[in-house]
Amino acid sequence: MLDSDHSVKQDIRAQLTTELRGMLERHSASGPAHACAPGIAGQPPRARNPLRACVACEANADCAFTHTVRSILVHLLSNIEAAGSADAEGVHQLRVAVRRLRAALVLFRSKLEPGSHHQYMVGLRRIAGIFGKARDWDVFVLETLAAAEKGLSQPGRFDLLRKAAEPARTIAHRGLRDEVNGLAFARLVLEIADWIEVGAHTRAPLRNNEADKPITEIVPELLDGVLRKVIKRGRNLHGARSEELHALRKSIKKLRYSIEFFSSLYPKKRVRAYLRPCKELQELLGIINDGTVTIALAEELGQGGGEDLAAAVGTLMKWTTSRSKRARRHVRKSWSALLSADPFWR
């Protein structure tokens, strides 16, 4: 690496650290403090859960948007070190932060200045793919194989699969580490942080005729828009392909995130009652999607690996298929429960 490149990287990383500290201070000043400080100086890296946005009832749309995105950026940045050290939970939380950030931008899309967020969505989509690969291999090695081994009479039945998967997992983690240590990632985060902060641009992220509206006035419209997408994607559940169920799962996840962004505006009991079927359906669809991913990764590992490895792949695929079928049997019931839930924001 050239000295100039190294200098630029150091400068960008220093900016990120400074930006993170500033966002933590602003977040604490504009809402309740949370015990989720990032591990910066001398602390061992560990995964951090999301901060609650805690949007105030008297906030306008601009303040609510800024507060929400800022809290997500704090979550994102506070998991970089853990994820970069191959901590599985850190990788998971980093991926969750990217998903929540994309969900927030999509949620407010109709209120934003036209085209103002497109470049950020492109960048976030790119890094989501990189983080997703690391997460997929973590789940395969650390969760799926362990779950599949339960009940088997032969201990260590999938040791060959674990050994075969580790090189691919290592490569995926290296890709994640290179990304979070690279200039493109740092610049993307800094640009988004700069974009949302008051006075950073001549034009605020939200359109002038939307920025000053009370957040309580526009939340019903925003959440209804996300719910409509969920209903549209769930219309034909009977015989739906795995890709269609995965698309439904992503929409439900966006609905859940969107509700969580504004949960401070509504009674906790009503929020929890609505989120319950959301989480149940999301979990079922997650099992089905995990099955699709597991089969793809297992087939990749089994190519040219010998009879013993092929037998292990066959056993895992049989278990995965059975597990997915069981989950499918409960999808329609959970879907009906979600449709029957009270949209408390109306």
Pull the structure tokens for residue 62.
């601009």
Instruction: Give the per-residue pLDDT at 306.
Output: 84
Report, in this order, helix, strand and coil percent for the chain, each rounded to 5.
75, 0, 25
Instruction: Give the per-residue pLDDT at 323.
Output: 95
Question: Residue 238: how many CA atoms within 13 Å on its side-chain side?
Answer: 0
Question: Residue 47: how many CA atoms within 13 Å on its side-chain side?
Answer: 15
| Same fold: 6-36+58-213 with 214-340 | yes
Q: Could you tell me which CATH number the domain at 6-36+58-213 has?
A: 1.40.20.10
How far apart, in whole angstroms, are the C-alpha atoms of residue 282 and residue 85? 29
Number of CB atoms found within 10 A of residue 315's CB: 18
Is the separation of the CB atoms in 312 and 160 below 8 Å? yes
Give me the residues paired with residue 60 across strands: 214
How far apart, in whole angstroms, are the C-alpha atoms of residue 273 and residue 257? 15
Q: What is the pTM of this model?
A: 0.87
Please report, for the chain, the start and end positions of each structural domain, with discontinuous segments joined by +: 6-36+58-213, 214-340
Identify the helix (H) or strand (E) that includes residue 64.
helix 61-77
- Superfamily designation of domain 214-340: CHAD domain (1.40.20.10)
Number of CB atoms found within 10 A of residue 29's CB: 8
Q: Could you give the angle at which helices 242-261 and 88-107 cross, rounded to 10 degrees? A: 80
Burial profile 45-68: b = 16 or more Cβ within 10 angstroms, e = fewer? bbbbebbebbbeeebbbbbbbbbb
Is the separation of the CB atoms in 177 and 134 below 8 Å? no
Q: Quick one: which of 212, 196, 193 has its CA closest to 204?
A: 196
Give me the residues paired with residue 112 across strands: 206
Instruction: Give the per-residue pLDDT at 257.
Output: 97
Q: Which amino acid is at 173?
A: H
C-alpha distances in Å from residue 175, one per residue of 2, 83, 89, 128, 136: 21, 11, 17, 12, 13
What DSSP line would sit under 125-139, residue for residue? HHHHHHHHHHHHHHI
Note down pLDDT in tens along the chain; length 346 residues.
444 444 544 555 565 666 655 655 555 555 433 333 444 455 668 899 987 768 999 999 999 999 999 899 989 988 999 999 999 999 999 999 999 999 999 999 999 988 888 999 999 999 999 999 999 999 999 999 999 998 777 777 899 999 999 999 999 999 999 999 888 998 899 889 888 875 444 456 888 888 899 999 999 999 999 999 999 999 988 889 999 999 999 999 999 999 999 999 999 999 999 999 999 999 999 999 999 999 999 999 988 778 899 999 999 999 999 999 999 999 999 999 999 999 999 9
Is the separation of the CB atoms in 12 and 183 below 8 Å? yes
